[in-house]
Amino acid sequence: GQNIDQPTEMTATEGAIVQINCTYQTSGFNGLFWYQQHAGEAPTFLSYNVLDGLEEKGRFSSFLSRSKGYSYLLLKELQMKDSASYLCAVRDSNYQLIWGAGTKLIIKP
């Protein structure tokens, strides 16, 4: 079977750094996506990785290791508005997107 594993919930402090991990077992790999979803809203695209290494976009960075089936999303200088669910999704060999259940991130002052 195919599955994506992410922690269900994480808590961090405003101004700090948090790393959200994602591990995957899929039939083939054609890229990994991270999305942010605020409560009651639709997901918004954050990042895409298909090669090993780190992709940096402002306060957000995403890392991929294909050999380990592992990715993380790193959020720096946390702000209260970063409180949201973060979804990891992997595109498999059939170009289907396999979605993780999401990690709910709670930011405390």
Partner 1 sequence: GAVVSQHPSRVICKSGTSVKIECRSLDFQATTMFWYRQFPKQSLMLMATSNEGSKATYEQGVEKDKFLINHASLTLSTLTVTSAHPEDSSFYICSASEPTSGSSGGTDTQYFGPGTRLTVL
Give the residue, chosen from 34, 72, 100, 105, that forms a contact with partner 1 under the rule CB under 8 A: 100
Using the rule CB under 8 A, is 29 a contact of partner 1?
no
Both tokens assigned to 87: 């979804």
Rounded Cα distance between 2 and 18, Å, is 27
The window from 11-19, 27-35, 65-73, 74-82 that contacts partner 1 (CB under 8 A) reads: 27-35
Counting every residue written for the chain, the total comes to 109
Both tokens assigned to 97: 């997107």
Among residues 14 and 56, whose Cβ is nearest to partner 1?
56
* Chain mean position to CA 82: 13
Q: Which residues bind partner 1 (CB under 8 A)?
A: 30-31, 33, 35, 40-45, 48-51, 53, 55, 87, 91, 97, 99-102
